[in-house]
């Protein structure tokens, strides 16, 4: 099998598109966290500031997996590691 | 030199560029855009700290405007550290305050048109490694080796170290995930801003300011807070409850 540059670039673009599907999980997780935080504020409005900071911390940690997918996509699109095998 | 400013190039370009090359003991050493952005951030911070130090040195009993602002910043940072670390806060508020201000200014330096230094993995990874070193140092300072071994074999008893490799991997993942989180957030913001400026040309005149508020200010501040918060949590976990 012979691969030329264009074929590899196209496959890299497809792979980058597939990699950012990882964003679904953190989206659902962040939504759940925000919903529960809203419920908690409704139950106890006095603790709003600490609930908000806890929610933001948890959301940022949950975001990490999505960012790994984003990172893979960025590497595929801008660093193009699959082209290194060509020459 | 046009690579220093993100928005100066005519095409979409988000990579780190080498500006000057030096030969140093047979190695090629590049001065990149990250160094230049870091230099700007450092100059701003140094100038601010010198002015603030002068203001505090001849501080009045009833503080003026500028002294009020400086005292407010220090009080807020100390309050954040004390709220998380409790009685260990005294030792760490200098370090946490320093990295908080540094990361915050690095993140929002995109407002000046610079490429943010934290969008370079070479800047965020050392920060993660410093956290890792602090965690390990405190663990060995406050715990006996036997306790650390029992902790590393944690779900199973200490004489059956089946979980030891998995725990080692999860400990090694701490600095990597810390630094990658900061890096990927800021890099994605930088890429979004570069796409807006690079692809829309003259259409992107005034309204990208709203995007700057989100990608640079909001995202940067949140990620700074998260990095400092996680560092404090890991370190106080390593110190533990005893003493």
The reply to whether B78 falls in a domain is yes
Element of type H or E holding B19: strand B18-24
- Model confidence at B227, in pLDDT bands (50, 70, 90)? very high
- Model confidence at A1, in pLDDT bands (50, 70, 90)? low
pLDDT at B185 over 70: yes
CB-based contact A60 B177, cutoff 8 Å = no
CB-based contact B180 A68, cutoff 8 Å = yes
B173 half-sphere exposure, CB direction, 13 A CA radius: 9
Element of type H or E holding A3: none
Q: Please state the rounded mean pLDDT for residues B197-209.
A: 82
The 3-state DSSP class for residue B20 equals: strand
**Residue in the block written with tokens 């998995």:** B166
Predicted pLDDT of residue B43: 94
Residue B158: which domain range?
18-239
**Residue in the block written with tokens 């951030």:** B41
Burial of B23 (0-12, 13-18, 19+ CB in 10 A): exposed
**Residue in the block written with tokens 């529960």:** A36
Residues in chain B: 243
B14 → closest Cβ in A63, A67, A78: A78
Element of type H or E holding B156: none
**pLDDT tens track for B157-166:** 888 888 889 9
| Structure tokens given for B215 | 């990608």
**pLDDT tens track for A23-81:** 999 999 999 999 999 999 999 999 998 898 889 888 888 888 899 999 999 889 888 88
Total tally of structural domains belonging to chain B: 1
**Are B199 and B12 spatial neighbours (Cβ–Cβ below 8 Å)?**
yes
A56 → closest Cβ in B180, B191, B222: B222
pLDDT at B31 over 90: no
Predicted pLDDT of residue A43: 95
* Strands B27-32, B18-24: pairing kind: antiparallel
Q: How many CB atoms lie within 10 A of CB A2?
A: 4
CB-based contact A61 B222, cutoff 8 Å = no
DSSP-H helix ranges across chain B: 33-57, 65-85, 89-107, 121-142, 145-152, 164-200, 208-212, 219-239
Q: How close is the nearest chain B Cα to the Cα of A7, in Å?
A: 22
DSSP letter (8 states) at residue B109: G
The reply to whether B11 falls in a domain is no
Cβ neighbors of B176 (< 8 A, separation 6 or more) are B125, B128
DSSP letter (8 states) at residue B162: T
The reply to whether B8 falls in a domain is no
**Residue in the block written with tokens 């036997």:** B146
**pLDDT tens track for B104-120:** 999 998 888 888 899 88
DSSP letter (8 states) at residue B204: -
Q: How many CB atoms lie within 10 A of CB B159?
A: 8
Predicted pLDDT of residue B10: 54
Pick the CATH number of A22-79 from 1.10.10.10, 1.10.645.10, 3.30.70.890, 1.20.20.10: 1.20.20.10
């Amino acid at each position: 099998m012979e691969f030329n540059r264009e074929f590899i670039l196209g496959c890299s673009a497809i792979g980058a598109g597939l990699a950012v599907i990882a964003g679904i999980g953190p989206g659902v997780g962040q939504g759940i966290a925000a919903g529960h935080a809203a419920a908690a504020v409704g139950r106890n409005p006095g603790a709003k500031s600490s609930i908000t900071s806890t929610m933001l911390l948890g959301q940022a940690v949950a975001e990490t997996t999505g960012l790994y997918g984003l990172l893979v996509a960025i590497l595929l699109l801008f660093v193009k590691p699959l082209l290194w095998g060509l020459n | 030199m046009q690579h220093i400013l993100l928005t100066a190039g005519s095409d979409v370009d988000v990579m780190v560029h080498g500006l000057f090359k030096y030969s140093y003991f047979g190695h090629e050493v590049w001065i990149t855009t990250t160094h230049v952005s870091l230099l700007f951030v450092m100059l701003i911070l140094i100038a601010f700290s010198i002015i603030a130090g002068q203001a505090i040195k001849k501080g009045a009993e009833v503080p003026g405007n500028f002294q009020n602002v400086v005292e407010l910043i220090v009080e807020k940072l100390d309050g954040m550290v004390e709220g998380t670390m409790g009685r260990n806060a005294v030792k760490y508020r200098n370090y946490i305050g320093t990295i908080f201000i540094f990361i915050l200014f690095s993140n929002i330096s995109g407002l000046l048109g610079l490429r943010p230094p934290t969008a370079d993995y070479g800047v965020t990874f050392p920060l993660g490694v410093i956290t890792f070193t602090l965690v390990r140092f405190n663990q060995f300072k406050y715990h006996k080796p036997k306790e650390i071994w029992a902790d590393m074999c944690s779900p199973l008893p200490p004489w059956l170290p089946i979980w030891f490799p998995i725990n080692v991997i999860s400990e090694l993942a701490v600095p990597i995930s810390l630094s990658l989180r900061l890096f990927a957030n800021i890099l994605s913001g930088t890429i979004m801003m570069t796409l807006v400026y690079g692809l829309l040309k003259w259409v992107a005149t005034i309204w990208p300011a709203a995007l700057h508020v989100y990608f640079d200010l909001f995202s940067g501040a949140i990620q700074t807070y998260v990095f400092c918060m996680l560092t404090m949590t890991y370190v106080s976990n390593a110190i533990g409850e005893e003493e």
